[in-house]
Amino acid sequence: MSQAVQAAERVTGQKSGKPIVNDFQIVVATVNGTGSQTANSALIRALFRMGIPVNGKNIFPSNIQGLPTWFSIRLSKDEYVARREHSEILVAMNQATVKEDIQNLSPGGVVYTPEEWNIPAERDDITYYTMPVKALVSASDTPPNLRDYVSNMVYVGVLAAMHNIDLAEVHEALNIHFSGKAKAVESNMTMVNAAFEWAQDHLAKSDPFVAERMDKTSGLIMLDGNSAGALGAVFGGVTFVAWYPITPSTSLVDALKDYLAETRHDAEGKATYAVVQAEDELAAIGMVIGAGWAGARAMTSTSGPGIALMSEFGGLAYSTEVPSVIWDVQRVGPSTGLPTRTQQGDVLKAYFLGTGDTKHVVLLPGSIAECFEFGWRAFDLAERLQTLVFVLSDLDLGMNLWMSKPFEYPDQPMDRGKVLTAEDVDRLGGFKRYADVDGDGIGWRTLPGTDHPLAAYFTRGSGHNDEAQYSERTEDWAGNMARLTRKFDTARTLLPKPVVDTVKGAIIGIISYGSNDPAIIEGRDKLKAQGVKASYLRLRGLPLEGTTRKFIEKHERVCVIENNTDGQMAKLIHMEYPDLAPKVQSIAFSNGLPFSARWIYEQVMEWEK
């Protein structure tokens, strides 16, 4: 008999059937602005500390207080971290949605409601438990102004008692959440303990769901993608950040400011960086380009509507060849769209941002480890290629908590690109800013402040010749564009290559990117269980390079799975490889949520027919 079952029986004094261990999902339905984040973070951290693979997803409204929020925690002994559509355990703390929330519960599931709501047990395929939230909070000596807040700890205690979550780990999780502030930890823990004891004494366990300590998270970290990207930027030596607040990218800059404050002051306390909150996204990207031009490692972070405003500057950065980095944490568009839901809808917008023949380098992180890696690598690429580099993350990757192996320290020194010093200019007897002396399409630049009479050049978005002088000559224009195309081809050779898993004998292939990865990994396992072999290529950067062409050639048919309505990456592949286009089909969908493995499985089965 497992430890968990023993524990369950100890709690309930009765057998609860065959236990389901570490393979279920808890969803907490709350009203936003009621402080449930502390409770949810305590739960997920405690489970993670018990060695159980977990993933947390916060489905929240674009609102400060009063609208429904759902936080789901998936426990997966098999280490699957994709979203699941249905949960087994519901903690219903939002009276406005409780009916619907109960309807969505998986058969055999469990619901906890506050006792005072008197929710009728309308479904006979689920277990109803009630919690005396008000009574327990009143019985505690919590100050009235904190009661609503602390009341969320009731469900933490009850869940711990009923599903075998280690209280010591809950305590430690609160310690982490409150950065060791003892008073806050204790007031919350008191409530947890009271609820735990109450549940032990009053609730008879009749459900099979139990958490059990295992050893699958040791050596792993847990973090959100925005923090990971911010940390990457810090280790990429970012020196200038300009930004304008926008969900869901704001927490990236928040994290960046914290990490910079922690790591980047000299002995006298002076900063080796600057962060400026701009008046809008136009100014934010303008500042970044100004700083990149003058030699800083400069970045901004934004989302779709911000990208729309940055269009003109996107073209300027491309045309004037100024190193700059934009993090786009994608949310649902068009227009304001669903600001707090996820999408991969900015692929084409980012790739072509600007007017005329503009194209950009785009990095596509698929995990928080890649958020970190691309966080520093983006600067190397921007300075090497003297261009704007996008990092396309999304809300799911950026704002949710993910497990990961610890991030790896950059494995190469910084690449500051082709910069001439005053001595270089002197030795060369001058230079031509946009001349392709090395055949890779990348010219040499000087930084403002270079002390040599021949070091200066004039940067302009208007037509220019090799010497950066104004030119309307047709040959100059066409020649410059041809060089920029050569440079874009150089970019293909420098970007992170796709991750390919070719299955022997597979006739179909899946191409995807970004935060779809966990759902595709799990979906492929489901397909495999049904005897469907599918190879998988995960894109990590644009422009495309040869690997993707080979992958398509190797398979009879390829589907491109992505979280948008128009099938943007599929269209891009069609454009890039028109000869292969008939083999490449789009499986695209967007409703604001990350994909589930079941959806992937069903879509591929349907397509495969």
- Decide if residue 137 touches another protein (CB under 8 A): no
Q: Which stretch binds another protein (CB under 8 A): 15-23, 141-149, 295-303, 350-358?
A: 295-303
x/- mask, another protein, residues 234-253, rule CB under 8 A, reads xxxxxxx-x-----------
- Say how far apart CA 287 and CA 334 lie, in whole Å: 26
How many CA within 13 A on the CB side of residue 131?
Answer: 32
Smallest distance from the beta carbon of 316 to another protein, in angstroms? 6
- Say how far apart CA 448 and CA 19 lie, in whole Å: 68
Smallest distance from the beta carbon of 284 to another protein, in angstroms? 8
CA distances from 493 to 385, 419, 486, 542 (A): 11, 21, 11, 11
Give the position of tokens 């919690």.
131
Among 66, 245, 334, 406, binds another protein (CB under 8 A): 406
- Say how far apart CA 536 and CA 26 lie, in whole Å: 30
Smallest distance from the beta carbon of 197 to another protein, in angstroms? 25
- Decide if residue 460 touches another protein (CB under 8 A): yes
- Say how far apart CA 380 and CA 389 lie, in whole Å: 10
CA distances from 275 to 271, 300, 373 (A): 10, 10, 21
- Decide if residue 278 touches another protein (CB under 8 A): yes
Smallest distance from the beta carbon of 205 to another protein, in angstroms? 26
DSSP 606: H
- Decide if residue 357 touches another protein (CB under 8 A): no
**Looking only at residues 189 through 218 of this chain, which bind another protein when binding is defined by CB under 8 A?**
218
Q: Which residues, in sequence order, are CB contacts of 214 under 8 Å at separation 6+?
A: 22, 50, 51, 52, 77
Phi, psi of 89 (to 5 degrees): -120, 125
Among 20, 167, 282, 499, binds another protein (CB under 8 A): 282
State the alpha helices, DSSP H only, in 26-166. 36-49, 98-103, 133-139, 147-163
- Decide if residue 9 touches another protein (CB under 8 A): no
Smallest distance from the beta carbon of 392 to another protein, in angstroms? 23
Q: Which stretch binds another protein (CB under 8 A): 15-23, 126-134, 289-297, 580-588?
A: 289-297
**Looking only at residues 143 through 172 of this chain, which bind another protein when binding is defined by CB under 8 A?**
172
**Looking only at residues 20 through 79 of this chain, which bind another protein when binding is defined by CB under 8 A?**
44-46, 48-49
Angle, vertex CA 469, rays to CA 465 and CA 472, nearest 5: 60
Among 407, 536, 595, 599, binds another protein (CB under 8 A): 407
Among 220, 500, 532, 581, binds another protein (CB under 8 A): 220
Smallest distance from the beta carbon of 81 to another protein, in angstroms? 15
Instruction: Specify the residue, 409 or 427, whose C-beta has the smaller distance to another protein.
Output: 409
Read off the amino acid at residue 186.
E
**Looking only at residues 467 through 526 of this chain, which bind another protein when binding is defined by CB under 8 A?**
469-470
- Decide if residue 173 touches another protein (CB under 8 A): yes
Instruction: Specify the residue, 164 or 564, whose C-beta has the smaller distance to another protein.
Output: 164
Tell me whether strands 508-513 and 534-539 are parallel, antiparallel or unpaired.
parallel
SS3 sequence of 350-365: HHCCCCCCCCCEEECC
Among 61, 225, 286, 339, binds another protein (CB under 8 A): 286
Which of 171, 197, 19 lies closest to 108 in space, CA to CA?
19
Given a contact cutoff of 8 angstroms between Cβ atoms, the answer to whether 378 and 299 are in contact is: yes
Among 112, 155, 196, 293, binds another protein (CB under 8 A): 293
Instruction: Specify the residue, 136 or 234, whose C-beta has the smaller distance to another protein.
Output: 234
Q: Which stretch binds another protein (CB under 8 A): 8-16, 22-30, 66-74, 280-288?
A: 280-288
Given a contact cutoff of 8 angstroms between Cβ atoms, the answer to whether 343 and 564 are in contact is: yes
Secondary structure class of 406 (helix, strand, coil): coil
Among 123, 257, 452, 492, binds another protein (CB under 8 A): 452
Among 297, 341, 360, 487, binds another protein (CB under 8 A): 297
Among 33, 35, 108, 290, binds another protein (CB under 8 A): 290
